[in-house]
Structure 1
């Protein structure tokens, strides 16, 4: 009897069921984020919670795995464990063995029962989340860097179609280089861009 796939936080035991496939940019992705953000906000009912759309589906025109990455920024003092049950009730699977205790990670969409991953929820404090938001905003405003990032993702997806860890690590150098530019510009006071897409 075939065993159902299990999730270790990074990949499914049946990697073929969780292949990395990039999709053309979809103008429907912001709507999908907004609908899910509304559902999450209603389920959590946590005053002061901020919800951000980030990752490649948050950058117009950028190819991406068609998975909506959602960032939750709970208010200071909020008990993060109280988020688990409401998110599980919305169909998310919580990665309980996450080696980064200062973060939480949830996945929605469980092959083969579903159609594959549809949403990721990341829970962080603002200090940890800042680099992700800076990177997103930079790509939104610098199409040449976004195009270079897309070309790299296409090469990695072709090389590592069933290895999400290698795919992710392969982006690290370019992400660090782009993020370095964004941070230097911010430090010089030239960026002036506010965080976009926040929901409270």
Structure 2
């Protein structure tokens, strides 16, 4: 069953401060689980200079394998993160903060280094970082879709899917 998510879809011009916000969140996560993980990557639209985006930082906490996941999950819960499962995407485990913190809103995923979720996040981000014409096209699409689906985040996300898949296909050709 497809549940329509409520809320306002808001896409804003790129903000250079998103890098600083990511760095602050990364430091907090690293202090908690840094010895158990491989890396903390800034992914999603806020990681791409010049791209209009919802002002929400997307973060992949990269682990070597699911063997370490229980320890990472336990430590994150100690600092107020709740595991939400994979939310329908294989190769990533979503976490949300159980209280409002001082950071810009963010989505955090724990991903194995070779998991599909993480590999696609990195491939998409890196492709856009190297193709300014795709950034322009994607930004215009996101603004148009945010206006069209202003109160339906699910429809907004679904409508971007074809563009995202076309980029991932281009990555595989390069």
Structure with greater strand percent: 2
Show CA shifts across 1:17-53 (max 9, x none): xx21112111111111111111101111434421100
**Residue matched to 1:155:** 144
| Unpaired runs of at least 5, structure 1 | 1-9, 186-200
Residue 123 of structure 1 pairs with residue 97 of structure 2: no
**Residue matched to 2:10:** 21
Q: Distance in 1 between matches of 2:66 and 2:86?
A: 23
Structure with greater helix percent: 2
Is the contact made by 1:51 and 1:71 (CA closer than 8 Å) also made in structure 2?
A: yes
Q: TM-score of the superposition, structure 1-length normalised? A: 0.74
Structure 1 outlier segments of 4+, above 6 Å: 113-117
Is the contact made by 1:22 and 1:64 (CA closer than 8 Å) also made in structure 2?
A: yes
Q: Distance in 2 between matches of 1:41 and 1:133?
A: 19
Residue 44 of structure 1 pairs with residue 51 of structure 2: no
Show CA shifts across 1:99-153 (max 9, x none): 446421123487xx78997011112222311121111011111111111111111
Work out the number of aligned pairs and report it: 170
Is the contact made by 2:38 and 2:64 (CA closer than 8 Å) also made in structure 1?
A: yes
**Residue matched to 2:123:** 134
Q: Distance in 2 between matches of 1:116 and 1:33?
A: 9
Matches within 5 A, 1:21-170: 21-76=10-65, 78-96=67-85, 98-100=87-89, 102-108=91-97, 118-127=105-114, 128=116, 129-170=118-159
Is the contact made by 2:62 and 2:111 (CA closer than 8 Å) also made in structure 1?
A: yes
Cα RMSD of the aligned pairs, angstroms, is 2.7
Show CA shifts across 1:156-194 (max 9, x none): 111212222211111111111122112211xxxxxxxxx
Is the contact made by 1:53 and 1:68 (CA closer than 8 Å) also made in structure 2?
A: yes
Q: TM-score of the superposition, structure 2-length normalised? A: 0.83
| Unpaired runs of at least 5, structure 2 | none
Larger Rg computed on CA atoms: 1
Q: Distance in 1 between matches of 2:66 and 2:161?
A: 32
